[in-house]
Structure 1
Amino acid sequence: MTTVSNTSGSSYIDSLKGVTDGTKKEDSGALTQSDFFALLTQQLAFQDPTKPVENDQMIAQMTSFTMADGISSLNTNFKDFAASMNSNQALQASSLVGRNVRVNSDTLIFDGTNKSYGAIEVPGKTTSMKVSIYDASGALLKSDTVTNPDEGKFELAWDGTNEAGVKQTAGLYTMKIDATVDGKSQSLVTSSYVPVASVTLGTSTADMKLNLLGLGAKKMSDILEIAAG
């Protein structure tokens, strides 16, 4: 941009200084709309009369500022939205403490009194499946066979007793499912219902972890189901 150097009173830079010094800014490092239009007015006032600013140049400057200001506002709004989402996710996760969630696992958590619950994903053409429960040493405690189970999720409940009906102590136990599917033997995928002991919050939703009793930390995406009640 060309300026006229012999302007009476003060230089172009001095005029700009007077404008910026007299304008109150919310952020000393940011150019506000009022700053922009004040500078644009000064530019027009001190332009070379023989070479005035072209309309398309002025429009380009205004468009550029508007886009930059819009992008900045969008970034701020998105950050606020993301922070709100993280806060809501954290609140929802904290409400799960003390409740049971279902995750892929072959572990049954027995508290010494109440039944332990698990689930089995039964494929089509399954003619039989043997459910076996083992203690921490690997000793077989109890087994049962189910014939012609329906395809889909099969719920199981263990009362904590062995074949003799003796109640076991509280702890971690293992379930194993051996099935006959379409005439072939295979092990089936199992999941278990486990209490949420606590929640570990991170800087984002992806960092949030549910700490499950006996199974350690799990991501929110690992949760297959939240038990009612």
Structure 2
Amino acid sequence: MTGINGAGGASNLTYLDQLKSMQDKKVQEEQKTTGQNELKQEDFLSLLTKQLAQQDPFKPVGNDQMIAQMASFATVDGISQMNDQFGSLNSAMTSSQALQASSLVGRDVLIPSATAVKGIEGGVAGMVKLPQALDNLMVRIENEQGQLIKTMDLGAKPPGEHRLDWDGMDENGNPLPEGRYQVKAAGLVGGENREFDVSTYANVNSVLLGNGDGNVMLNLAGLDSPFKLAEVLEVGQV
């Protein structure tokens, strides 16, 4: 029968080393029979009882050592329980976020993507953030093949966020088919042409709970990949 030696006994292993050794053996036995791999509180108390029964009576474990061992186990057990509670809290928050996000279905949201989806009628809208004032803000609309469809000169703009609107027409005023288009914004900064990040509006089709990582995902009309709810920059008005 395997026992745990008290401090200063014949074994050179500390109590925690011996406990870990016995735990590893116990885990291996349990995995063979039950598949369990956790050392529970009753297992610790059983091992502690064996230690007290088998310790060297001439060199017993000191009270301070015993208290330290019990405190260590209590700390580990508390952390385990805290992790379980955080897991439950995370699940509850994810469900709450999904419920709130369901109200976005059918509405437009602003996402950090220059890819805009045009419907059968109408155009697309977006937003550009300028770090400084520009004399001329130029907007380019390109199709999925990268061909230039339309250029818009929005003139001088101060620093900050500015809305971009395209009516869905080409340079000759002809309506273009539905599909995905790239919206690009650029201007001269210090004599050099510089492009700026563009965000576009997309319509929410459905809400997903993600892949078990706590993220709520939005399926957007016309886009292949869903976007995280946390990535949404703005929700359009009803």
> TM-score with structure 1 length normalisation?
0.66
Deviation for aligned residue 1:69: 3.8
User: 1:110–1:58: structure 2 CA closer, same or farther, 3 Å change rule?
Assistant: closer
Match for 2:126: what amino acid?
Answer: G
Deviation for aligned residue 1:62: 4.5
Q: Does residue 224 of the first structure (1) align with residue 233 of the second (2)?
A: yes
User: 1:32–1:226: structure 2 CA closer, same or farther, 3 Å change rule?
Assistant: farther
Structure 2 equivalent of residue 107 of structure 1: 115
User: 1:108–1:73: structure 2 CA closer, same or farther, 3 Å change rule?
Assistant: closer
Match of 1:66 among 74, 77, 98: 74
Is the Cα–Cα contact under 8 Å of residues 128 and 199 in structure 2 kept in the other structure?
yes
Unpaired runs of 5+ in structure 1?
3-28
User: 1:59–1:102: structure 2 CA closer, same or farther, 3 Å change rule?
Assistant: same
Alignment identity in percent?
A: 36
Unpaired runs of 5+ in structure 2?
7-38
Deviation for aligned residue 1:140: 4.4
Is the Cα–Cα contact under 8 Å of residues 128 and 181 in structure 1 kept in the other structure?
no
Deviation for aligned residue 1:81: 1.9
String of CA shifts for 1:36-74, please: whole Å, max 9, x gaps: 59x86xx79xx9999987644554454345334433332
Say which structure is richer in strand.
1
Match of 1:184 among 192, 213, 236: 192
Q: How do 1:1-229 and structure 2 match up within 5 A?
A: 30-31=40-41, 36=45, 55-56=63-64, 59-60=67-68, 62-136=70-144, 140-200=148-208, 201-206=210-215, 208-220=216-228, 221-229=230-238
> TM-score with structure 2 length normalisation?
0.64
User: 1:54–1:225: structure 2 CA closer, same or farther, 3 Å change rule?
Assistant: same
Match for 2:166: what amino acid?
Answer: W
String of CA shifts for 1:110-166, please: whole Å, max 9, x gaps: 212244111122231411022232445555443321222111211011222234433
- Could you say what secondary structure the match of 2:82 adopts? helix
The alignment's C-alpha RMSD in Å is 3.9
Distance 2:69 2:149 in 1: 80
Is the Cα–Cα contact under 8 Å of residues 138 and 186 in structure 2 kept in the other structure?
yes
Larger-Rg structure: 1
Distance 2:78 2:144 in 1: 61
